[in-house]
Amino acid sequence: MSLRSYTLIRSPRARRLSLRINPEIGLEAVVPERLGEERARREVEAFIATRLAWVDRSLAEIARRRAALGTDGRMEVGGVIPYAGRAHTIVVAPSSHRGGIAIANGEILIPTVIARDPERVRMRLNSWLRRRARAVAEQMINVYAPEMRVEPQRIRIGDQSTRWGSASPDGTISLSWRLVLAPPSCFEAVIVHELAHLRSRGHGARFRAVVERHCPDELVRMRLLQRLAPALGAVR
Ligand SMILES: [Zn+2]
């Protein structure tokens, strides 16, 4: 039997086995929780074998979309960059557009007054993306911090190229602005990960337990983030 990789989800609400494609994670098999893991995997794999054509078509489509995430990374008019995990083309806003940089229908709109100056476009886009990263981080932290019973003191948005985030003992959560380019599920996983460090320093069992209580598939999301890293890092 030819095997496709999948994520097994044992759900108390599921009444029967089903397959679904999560655009960010890939193939997911949802099974009733009462099935033991071993039996669930046997049944899922037999089921997948009967639907290989559909699975392969769907996975190929996702691979194409992920490649599209690669975009060209050019922060200039005509460039294509990822935002919230999707390719967005940078265009000059229609003359009726008022105000600053905006986002609509897969496009990032640049006000006409700055569109002719590539250096200004790059600077303004960069600070806009940093502000968006901060706003999204604040929203997520407002949800997760009380739930996880931690009290972060401040958020720092930087451009750490080697790490997505870090948490320091004084309660500072540092995050790369590039997380706003990534799928929101990945951004969220980094937030939960860093907040969990306010409860537990290392990556030991206690830390894992905190993370998994609040984001059970954190490792899957982190792996996706690592796969996308080249595309996200290419934006400049
Ligand atoms: Zn960590």
Q: What is the pLDDT of residues 117-174, one digit of tens each?
A: 999 999 999 999 999 999 999 999 999 999 999 999 999 999 876 689 999 999 999 9
Distance from the CA of 170 to the center of ligand 1, in angstroms?
Answer: 16
Model-wide pTM > 0.85: no
Instruction: Express the helix, strand and coil content of the chain in percent, nearest 5 each.
Output: 50, 20, 30
Q: What is the pLDDT of residue 181?
A: 95
What residues does each domain of the chain span?
A: 7-68, 71-233
Q: Is the pLDDT at 98 greater than 90, yes or no?
A: no
Distance from the CA of 122 to the center of ligand 1, in angstroms?
Answer: 31
pLDDT (mean) for 11-28: 85
Q: What is the pLDDT of residue 1?
A: 44
- Average pLDDT score, the chain: 91
φ and ψ at residue 118, rounded to 5 degrees: -55, -35
> What is the Cα–Cα distance from 82 to 88, expressed in whole angstroms?
6
Residue 174 tokens, joined: 């540092």
Q: What is the pLDDT of residue 39?
A: 93
Distance from the CA of 202 to the center of ligand 1, in angstroms?
Answer: 7
The DSSP-derived string for 32-85 is ETTS-HHHHHHHHHHHHHHTHHHHHHHHHHHHHHHHHHH-----STT-EEEETT
Sign of CA dihedral 220, 221, 224, 229: negative
Distance from the CA of 47 to the center of ligand 1, in angstroms?
Answer: 37
Distance from the CA of 211 to the center of ligand 1, in angstroms?
Answer: 10
State pLDDT tens for residues 195-226.
Answer: 999 999 999 999 999 999 999 999 999 999 98
φ and ψ at residue 187, rounded to 5 degrees: -55, -45
> What is the Cα–Cα distance from 181 to 231, expressed in whole angstroms?
9
Q: Given pLDDT bands bounded at 50, 70 and 90, which one contains residue 68?
A: low
Distance from the CA of 197 to the center of ligand 1, in angstroms?
Answer: 7
> What is the Cα–Cα distance from 180 to 212, expressed in whole angstroms?
23
CATH number of 71-233: 3.30.2010.10
Q: Which residues pair with 80 in a beta bridge?
A: 89
Q: Name 163's Cβ contacts closer than 8 Å, sequence gap at least 6.
A: 176
Distance from the CA of 210 to the center of ligand 1, in angstroms?
Answer: 12
Q: What is the pLDDT of residue 24?
A: 60
Distance from the CA of 205 to the center of ligand 1, in angstroms?
Answer: 12
> What is the Cα–Cα distance from 108 to 82, expressed in whole angstroms?
10
